[in-house]
Every structure is written in C-alpha cells, then in structure tokens.
Amino acid sequence: MLAAGISIVDIVDSLLEDAKGDQKILIETMKDDINQGHRLNETFAKFPQVFDKVTVNIVKAAEEAGTLDVTLKDLKATIKRDQEFTDKVRSAFVYPLLIMGVFGGVMLVILTFVVPRISKVFMRMNATLPLPTKVLMFLSEVLLTYTIPLIVGLIAAGVGFYFLYKSKKRMIFNMLFSLPLVSQLVRQIDLTRFTRSMFLLLTSGIPIVTALDLSEEVVLKNDVRKSIKRARDVVFSGRPLSQAFKEEKKTIPTMMTRIAEAGERSGGLDKAMSDISEYLDYEVGKTLASVIVVIEPLMLVIVGVLIGGMMLAIIAPIYGLIGSVGR
C-alpha cells in the first residue's frame, strides 16, 4: 500500500476493517499513535512480544531515511524465510515426539487394561513372578488406585514446570543446547539468525556497532552471544568485523570469516551477511537431515526394547504357569 502511494492513515483504516482480536488492538493503538503524531516504530515498541528490537530499530531507521516501503518489503521476505526455517526445524522433531507419544499410549493401555487382568490370574495361582512383572503390577496398581492424585500431581508438575520455564528459561535452554547432537545444530541456527538480522540492520543504514548490539538479542546459545559481544567490542575499538570473527574460531566458522572479509573489502558487508545466512540455512538443512537419520532408528530401537520388555514381563510368567500345569 505504501509503494502504491496510499497514506499511512488510510492504510491503517483499511487494515482495521478486517482486523480481529489482538491484531485489532495493535492496529487501533497504531491509529491512535499516528493521529497523535507518533511514528510507526513507537507503536511497535509497545508490543515487544510481537516486534523484537531488531524490527523496531529497522523500521525506525527506515522512517528517518524515508524508505519505509522498501524496508517493509525486506522485512516481509525475511519473516517468510524465518517461518520456512522454523517449520524446517520443527518438522525434524515431530517424528521423535510422535514415537514417544505412541509409546506412552501403548504403555498406558497395557498398565490400565492388560496388567490388572493378568495379575489376578497370577495371584490366584500363587505363581513366582520375576522382578519386571512385579514392577509392572505395582505401577498398574498405583495408576488405578491413585488415579485422581496422579492427575492432580501431573497438573501441578506441569504448572510448576511452566513457572520454572518462565523464570529460568535461559538456564533450561542452555542445558538442552549442551546435548551432543543439539549443540551444533543450535549454533548453526543462531548464526543463521544473527547474519540475517545483521543484513537487515546494515541495509537499513544502522551503524555496525548498534547492529551487533541488537543482533545479540536473536541468538539462544551463551557462547554465540558472548562471541557477538566480543565482536562488538573489537569493532568499537576500530578494527574490522572479520578480525573479530577470526578471534572467535571456536564459534564462528572460517567460511563466515572469509565472506565477511571479502564483503568489507568490496564495501558490501550487508550483502556478505545475506550470502552467509543463505549458506548457513543450507547447512542447517543438512545437519537436520543427519540428526533425523540418527534419531529415527534410535527411537525405534529404544521404543521396541521398552515395549518388548513389557511384553516379556507379561508373557514369561504365563509360560511358567503353562509349564507347571503340564508337570
């Protein structure tokens, strides 16, 4: 609409006609702010859960430069790429979660319906039971006897975990991100998001030190965040960004350093950041494929062993009873 020459006031009125729920609240706030003479970035800053600091500062720079329509097109393309990127990461973990959900359902059915009936037969015949069978019978009895307390306990545990997640979110993420397979993947995701944010910020004319400061907000791993902080200090001291990347070899790959160095020489660091993000996006896809190749058979083996163990714990005593009857 901006590119077509429509005024921002008319655009907001047009958007408001079809808006619902939270979107309507946001656009109404935008309309009030514009009528009071405020800029778009000031409205965005009031909704930090919708617009991060990177987006707010990019819009602010665009409004000052008079290139809001071009910047919004870049933001739209970036959001689309981010969404595709997030969907790619999310789909990689759907299969393991599905397998665990199926296993949980099978285990619940066995403990609720199968084990109680079998245990009555075993008790009547005074059969000598192996330890795995006794454990299954105990779990089944607890599940059926204390159903309501267990449900209440699970709800309480879920609420407790939710508040723990809210208060210790960074600590929980750091624990998860330290796992062998996950660590490399998350680092690549962080570097992809970092370089993509740097591209947008530098394209909008934001100084490189400020861009580094803002891009720090989009990463998840502590070591990547610390590397960006040190890079900002190096650049602030007057040295090039590629030199800062060279000093962070443990976090920043050599390829990324070389492309950044080439971009600085040609005066196109923003384009270099875009090229790096596209390459890292491809690398994340490869890493995800490798992780899936490892996880899928591993999950099948684990679930197969667990379910097979449960079935053996039920079948073994039955064979024992049949043998005793035969004797």
| Average pLDDT for 55-77 | 84
Max Cα–Cα distance, the chain, nearest Å: 96
In a domain, 32, yes or no: no
How confident is the model at residue 309, as a pLDDT?
81
Task: For residue 73, give every residue at least 6 positions away whose Cβ sits within 8 Å of its Cβ, in sequence order, or none.
Answer: 3
Report pLDDT for 247.
Answer: 86
Q: What is the pLDDT of residue 180?
A: 67
Which structural domain, as residue segments, surrounds residue 220? 180-288
Overall size of the chain counted in residues = 327
Q: Provide the pLDDT for residue 181.
A: 66
- Averaged pLDDT score across all residues of the chain: 83
Provide the pLDDT for residue 173.
67
Q: What is the DSSP string of 107-158?
A: HHHIIIIIHHHHHHHHHHTT----HHHHHHHHHHHHHHHSHHHHHHHHHHHH
State the pTM of this model: 0.69
Residue at 282 is within a domain: yes
- CATH code of residue 225: 1.20.81.30
Mean pLDDT of all residues in 279-291 = 81
Contact 229, 216 (CB under 8 A): yes
Residue 241 in any domain: the answer is yes
Percentage of the residues of the chain whose pLDDT score is greater than 90: 2
Q: What is the mean pLDDT of residues 95-119?
A: 82
Q: Do the domain assignments include residue 42? A: no
Euclidean distance between CA atoms 183 and 201, whole angstroms: 27
pLDDT digits (tens, 9 = 90+) for 147-201: 888 889 889 988 888 887 777 766 766 776 677 667 777 888 888 888 888 888 8
- Report if residue 206 sits inside a domain: yes
- State mean pLDDT over 11-39: 88
- Cα distance between residue 13 and residue 28, in whole Å: 9
User: In this predicted model, what pLDDT tens digit does every residue of 33-57 receive, in sequence order?
Assistant: 988 888 888 999 999 888 888 888 8
As for how many domains the chain has, the answer is 1
The pair of structure tokens assigned to 153 is 């306990």
Which residue, chain included where needed, has tokens 């330290």?
A: 178
3-state secondary structure of 1: coil
Residue 116 lies in a domain: no
Q: Beta-carbon neighbour count of residue 3 at 10 Å?
A: 10
Residue 256: how many CB atoms within 10 A of its CB?
23
Residues 104, 306: contact at Cβ < 8 Å?
no
3-state SS assignment for residue 12: helix
Residue 213 has what pLDDT? 87
pLDDT tens sequence across 219-266: 888 888 888 888 888 888 888 888 888 888 888 888 888 998 898 888
